[in-house]
Amino acid sequence: MTTGVGSYEWRFDSGRVCLDLVATGEPAPKGFDDEPRGDDAGLLGRWLTGSGLVPRGTPLTGVDTGWVQRFAELRDCVGQLVRAEIDGRQAAAALERVNAVAAGAPPGIRAVREPGGGLVRTLSDEPECGALLAVVARDTVDLLTDPVARARLRQCEGDNCRRVYLDTSRGRRRRWCSSEVCGNRERVARHRRRAALARA
């Protein structure tokens, strides 16, 4: 799923919310930073809604630079962990931090009726940073302790892309985080190389 965020574009196609968080640290689209600038709190708020951690329409008045720093810290730890797993390494400090955050209670949820009569999910209370972080950390723990899911972790082979994703393709041969983005760039680059060789 892709969501436009002003002049930025978030993609939620990695297969896990924890991996979608890791992607916010990549250079394109510009992610929120652990040294907040400008509208980083607004970017984080839009990411929380786009990722589904917070139901659409939930007021996010409490999101501030403190939230940005805490999410950026967790993002970095999760990124270290999943890349260490891909490379067959350990990241003990990052694992300890993710486990500590995962021990927190996730937000309470409830179902409420829409005006049209359908049920929709909402949070029981105002969103709280630690509770939302716990959801992402628990997703990380679930991912890394599931041998089947862990074996599907891949890092994009696209030039200048460090996105990590779950390869759920048939045959497990997916090479890019997105066929439409990095895959298309690779196909265009390959075509240009062939055209340059033909001209030479």
Q: Does the pLDDT at position 76 exceed 90?
A: yes
The overall average pLDDT reported for the chain is 85
- Please provide the DSSP assignment of the chain as one string: -EEEETTEEEE--SSSHHHHHHHTTSSSSPPP-SS--TTHHHHHHHHHHHTTSS-TT---TT--HHHHHHHHHHHHHHHHHHHHHHHT---HHHHHHHHHHHTSPPPPEEEEE-TTS-EEEEESSS--HHHHHHHHHHHHHHHHT-HHHHHTEEE--STT---EEE--SGGG---SS-IIIIIHHHHHHHHHHHHHHHH-
Per-residue confidence at 26, pLDDT binned at 50, 70, 90? confident
pLDDT of residue 6: 36
Total-model pTM: 0.83
